[in-house]
Homo-oligomer: A and B are copies of this chain.
Amino acid sequence: MRLTIDQLNAADQATFTRLLDGVYEHSPWIAQQTWSRRPFATLAQLKHALAHTVRSAPLEEQIQLIRAHPELAGKAAIAGELTAESTHEQSRAGLTHCTPHEFERLQQLNSQYKDRFGWPFILAVRGPRGLGLSRQDIIETFAHRLRNHPDFERAECLRNIHRIAEIRLNDKFGQEPVEGQRVWDWAAELAQHTDVPPIEGEPFNLTVTYLTPAHQACARQLQNWMHECGFDEVRLDAVGNVVGVYHGLTADAPRLLTGSHYDTVRNGGRYDGRLGIFVPMACVRALHNRQQRLPFGIEVVGFAEEEGQRYSATFLGSSALVGDFNPDWLAQTDAQQISMKTAMQQAGLPAHLDAIAQEKRDPAHYLGFVEVHIEQGPILDSMDMPVGVVTSINGSSRYAIELEGMASHAGTTPMAQRHDAAAAAAELILYVEKRARQDEQSPHGPSVATVGMLQVPNGSINVIPGRCHLSLDLRAPIDTQRDALTRDVLSELEAICHRRGIQYQARHLLTAAAAPCSPRWQQRWADAVQRCGLPVQALPSGAGHDAMKLHQILPQGMLFVRGGNAGISHNPLETITADDAQLCVEAFQNLLDDLAHHP
């Protein structure tokens, strides 16, 4: 008997609690307290409500929930109780078949973990796809999480508990996130192509840079899938973008433009960019299967280049669409001295500016640009929010700062006679932090400010730093807020250096304009998310995206999906669940639906 939302909505508290028995390990209070939040429109809403109950509980009850899971101790535990999932779940992960070496390692990790945190290690071993993690994955995650800060690791355990609950609820409801799994599987399959040949014993390195063989293989694969999904037109454009069009009621109907990039950083993640191609592909596939046409066409672009890895030509793909392709790029050479023009020719592209110029889109033919992207940050993950609506792509400014004080003997120079360049840097770092936090409640969204590079060149333990180099990266949702931040930081730098007798140079590296998302498209994404049964979490994008380029010619709006592992990105640990991918597809479908009815 499959459970339904209607059953739950109609149940009294005791029945409700009984129906959800076993979803949260030995902790019926979670279902009990969630009962009052009925009715639930969707399973996603129920999941979110349960997680919200745990979030709102006192810290002791949260730790109690973690402790309700049995500790990994002894072979029996490894076989059955590592993650408090059922033996069925465990056996899928193969934990019943540990080698003696694996068993020993797990025992060791478990003992270290217990010493460090005092609660059992919780891991959703069925993993983000629901198919189960390998024993090697489990051991690596265990080792990795041992190094977390206790506050963070406690939250990570709760997130794993929610994921275990999600999988159990999917089972109870007989709901598989089929569209999400399809997206997840596409991502896995596309990630087979990499510039870096896999090396036995080395971790897999996903690197796909502009127009390499792996990059071209990705483009072919995307085109094949688009054909399979039922796109009406599929082509590789003049710069290597993969463009698929699903016509509206007529072939010349206005179009919704969407997509993201398929290149990656070196040793990157498989969702960054690509998710924004797969999600609308899944929607077109469903439309095609239903033989449904909308009043508007859908044009999905897999941008060939966004990351600027092989050449310094960031946003190359989307630049071509807005008529902003820099002619100088063609002459740029890569590390092997291959010019971009040559690389294009070798890839069978026209490699001349006229052809590229023709890729420029006429805004009059488009409704707007939307992009789905992994958040690449920790906000949604830390809030137990699967998706969020982007308010703005932050503007940024960057500086390289060199401080020059006076190098002198650490033993003989009195504190009051020092001109310590590192101490001046330290003051600036703390000011930068404090000043950015002042914008936390800004109506436009918070600022962030980072000193990412910091070095005393040739420092010695017994020499007062005469020089210190540091970088400054300042971002805010609107340009005026970014400018105020920049002004304050530079003026504090001046004050610190004046006070400390330090000379400085602040070399300006970059100013990028903020790209506020169109209020209308933000609202459309918000409505789409609410129709999934989820609350709307608005957040700015700290990173740049193709939408930032398209912003030059079209109103744009973005949907973010949470990344696991605290949103880590540009990193092999980047991850999303099939359930969250499913919500992305559903939200995108809601958006299309809404557009069709309220153009």
Contacts and interface: CB of A to CB of B under 8 A. Distances in A.
Copy count, this protein chain: 2
Most buried by B among A404, A412, A471, A568: A412
A433 interface: yes
Nearest to A543: B411
Contacts of A465: 451-452, 454
Contacts of A436: 415
A415 B440 contact: yes
Contacts of A420: 433, 450
B414 A446 contact: yes
Given A409-B377, A416-B437, A541-B412, A459 B453 contact: yes
A569 interface: yes
A240 interface: no
Given A408-B378, A411-B396, A437-B415, A503 B462 contact: no
A454 B461 CA distance: 9
Interface in A344-387: 375-379, 382
A54 to B, nearest CB: 19
Contacts of A433: 415, 420, 423
A426 interface: yes
A492 B473 CA distance: 28
Nearest to A570: B409
Interface string A414-449: 111101101101110110010011001000001011
Contact of A416 (B147, B422, B440): B440
A376 B410 CA distance: 10
Contacts of A400: 461
A456 B453 contact: yes
B448 A414 contact: yes
A435 to B, nearest CB: 10
Contacts of A378: 408, 412-414, 417
Most buried by B among A398, A446, A454: A454
Contacts of A462: 450, 452, 473
Contacts of A408: 377-378, 566-568
Given A147-B503, A420-B433, A429-B426, A375 B452 contact: no
A379 B433 CA distance: 35
A542 interface: yes
Contacts of A459: 452-455, 471
A292 to B, nearest CB: 36
Nearest to A400: B461
A268 interface: no
B152 A448 contact: no
A487 B430 CA distance: 23
Contacts of A423: 429-430, 433, 451
Contacts of A456: 452-455
Contacts of A430: 423, 426-427, 430
Given A411-B542, A427-B430, A452 B448 contact: no
A463 interface: yes
A372 to B, nearest CB: 16
Contact of A379 (B396, B417, B425): B417
Contact of A461 (B412, B471, B569): B471
A555 B251 CA distance: 100
A2 interface: no
Contacts of A377: 408-409, 411-414
A81 B182 CA distance: 86
Nearest to A501: B149
Contact of A569 (B382, B394, B409, B543): B409
A228 to B, nearest CB: 34
Contacts of A147: 404, 503
A419 B406 CA distance: 31
A281 interface: no
A475 interface: yes
Interface in A530-552: 541-544
A202 interface: no
Interface string A210-250: 00000000000000000000000000000000000000000
A280 to B, nearest CB: 23
A510 to B, nearest CB: 9
A72 interface: no
A483 B541 CA distance: 48
Contact of A475 (B149, B411, B417, B471): B411
A7 interface: no
Interface string A48-66: 0000000000000000000
Interface in A460-501: 460-465, 468, 471, 473, 475, 501
A375 B419 contact: no
Nearest to A148: B406
Contacts of A115: none
A295 to B, nearest CB: 36
B453 A461 contact: yes
A151 interface: yes
Contacts of A449: 415
5 contacts: A409-B543, A413-B542, A422-B429, A423-B429, A426-B427
In the complex, the 3 A-B pairs of residues with the closest C-beta atoms, listed nearest first = A377-B412, A411-B542, A412-B542
Given A411-B543, A415-B440, A427-B430, 6 more contacts: A377-B409, A409-B569, A411-B541, A414-B440, A426-B430, A453-B460
